[in-house]
Amino acid sequence: MDGKFISFEGPDGAGKTSVIQQIQQQLEDQLGTEKVMYTREPGGNKISEQIRQVLFDGQNTDMDGRTEALLFAAARRQHIVSEIIPGLKAGRVILCDRFVDSSIAYQGAGRGLGEKEIWQINQFAIDGLMPSLTIYLDIESEIGLRRIAEHRSNQINRLDKEKLAFHQTVRQSYLKLYKNYPERIKLIDASQPLEKVIEDVKATIHDRFSDLF
């Protein structure tokens, strides 16, 4: 497959959405819109967006942790088959807002279901497909949560509402992943001003794919 698969990860409030939007815009200016694809998890296609609605429905307060993990993995599977593989075959640069690391950090560590166990169920879902590069936007939990409260209080979802300790556990899990997979995962300090974060992300993408940026 000719395309390039790049995922973006980070705790809530790391500024992931703003970063990806700018990266997408700049890549589209360089390569043309048809060569760049933005997609997000859970979601990215009709079936996975339907699963997303179930996952984030504020009324589903009694959702079991394993149910949640399996739904994320199911949404991921459909996303891979309907969007990511066709995009890669078409030679696109895929900018994927969250992928399997999110499940390991949020369900595996945050929900305490076990990072190894979550990795196992996701191996069935991804069937060997992993991003070539993962940009991890790192932010201290207190700062991340403050940003959410300040900027998007009207959009807080069920998982954002988890307490500070949950977010700290999620971040520690991301940092562990970063330590364990230094070839794939690159850490960017997301507490910097947005322009500097973008600069660092572009340099990191260029290091991995010399024909980009």
- Which residues are at the interface with ligand TMP (CB under 6 A)? 12, 41-42, 72, 98, 102-103, 106-107, 159-160
The verdict on whether residue 14 carries a ligand-binding annotation is yes
d(CA 131, CA 5) in angstroms, rounded, equals: 5
Structure tokens at 16: 């992931």
Nearest residue to ligand TMP, scored by beta-carbon proximity: 106
User: How near is the Cβ of 95 to ligand TMP at its closest, in Å?
Assistant: 13
The verdict on whether residue 13 carries a ligand-binding annotation is yes
HEC states along 93-115?
EEEEECCHHHHHHHHHHHCCCCH
Which residue do the tokens 């998890």 mark? 41
User: How near is the Cβ of 55 to ligand TMP at its closest, in Å?
Assistant: 7
The verdict on whether residue 10 carries a ligand-binding annotation is yes
Indicate the residue among 41 and 138 with the shorter CB distance to ligand TMP: 41
The verdict on whether residue 17 carries a ligand-binding annotation is yes
User: How near is the Cβ of 186 to ligand TMP at its closest, in Å?
Assistant: 19
Indicate the residue among 12 and 200 with the shorter CB distance to ligand TMP: 12
The verdict on whether residue 57 carries a ligand-binding annotation is no
User: How near is the Cβ of 117 to ligand TMP at its closest, in Å?
Assistant: 14
Indicate the residue among 70 and 90 with the shorter CB distance to ligand TMP: 70
Indicate the residue among 90 and 172 with the shorter CB distance to ligand TMP: 172
Indicate the residue among 31 and 159 with the shorter CB distance to ligand TMP: 159
The verdict on whether residue 12 carries a ligand-binding annotation is yes
User: How near is the Cβ of 12 to ligand TMP at its closest, in Å?
Assistant: 5
Which residues participate in the annotated binding site for ATP?
10-17
